[in-house]
Amino acid sequence: MADALIITLVAEGALSPGDASAASDVVRGIGAEIVAQSWLEAGDAFDILARGDGPAIRAALEDALPAMDVVVQSGSSPRRKRLIVADMDSTMIACECIDELADYAGLKVEVAAITEAAMRGELDFAGALKARVALLKGLPVATLDQCREERVRLNPGARQLVQTMAANGARSLLVSGGFMPFAVPVAREIGFARVLANRLDVEGDVLAGTVPEPIVDAAAKKALLEADGTPMSAALAVGDGANDIPMLQAAIAGGGLGIAYHAKPKAAAAAQAHVRHGDLTVLLRAQGYIRADWVG
């Protein structure tokens, strides 16, 4: 007999008994067998234990209940994960740092267009990164701190997600195709134990317009996830762009969670779940945490 799936519906403060009932009808309607169901937290999150086709269940529920976030995962893997590997820009924070940095050079429109194409998977990431950084040549190094202070804001739920997992024994790694001068303070503010991102070459007190090798790209993100040593079934990967797809898929293939967060279409399609409405605490709901458990 096939292992059961854990289906979690999340809509903080807006999930009604009627929604829960409708979800159960949808699951049964595509031929899945419901084993059990219960409120994870009344009005916020609802769990259904079922046997069936996971991707088909997710698609049917997202279509029938478009205002809900839906996570479908294996019931045979540890629900509370022991590792989180997360992207930074547009995932843990609400902006793309290189776009905001380019704004200080009067080049945001040009740089943002390249960023958007790269995140959609239309450009080679390393080439796109080098092209964007080249446009920043001559920008004062002091602008990095100014940009971080004025433009970088954490996405809602970032602290709660990482600190709650850490309080329950999980390891945490922030891995970014962005830059260490942004990633290090962001990691500290959120509570990540480790951080890896690209560096920027400087010449005196200005940016040189180059990035030293090796570049933190999609392959590097996946390699870091796999090299951690935590069983993949106990890992959670989260990101929003095309360069996050390999690590998301590696987590999924190993029985863990690979979740897209307010993501570009390719990343959303490749992930196990796509958080379209809620904040990062949806990832805590997926792990079975109630609000009283949250830290941060």
Active-site annotation, residues: 87, 89
Report the C-alpha gap between 158 and 92 in whole angstroms: 6
The residue assigned the tokens 């690979």 is 258
Please state the φ and ψ torsions of residue 117, each to the nearest 5 degrees: -65, -40
Q: Which residues lie below 8 Å from residue 63, measured CB to CB, with a gap of 6+?
A: none
| Alpha helical stretches, state H, the chain | 17-29, 54-64, 97-103, 108-119, 125-134, 142-151, 158-167, 180-190, 218-227, 245-253, 265-270, 282-286
The residue assigned the tokens 């935590």 is 230
Structure token pair of residue 40? 């994870």
Report the C-alpha gap between 25 and 16 in whole angstroms: 14
Residues constituting the chain: 296
Report the C-alpha gap between 65 and 101 in whole angstroms: 39
Closest CA to 48 of 25, 24, 15, 81: 24
**Ramachandran quadrant class, 288 (left: phi over 0; alpha: psi -120 to 50; beta: rest):** left
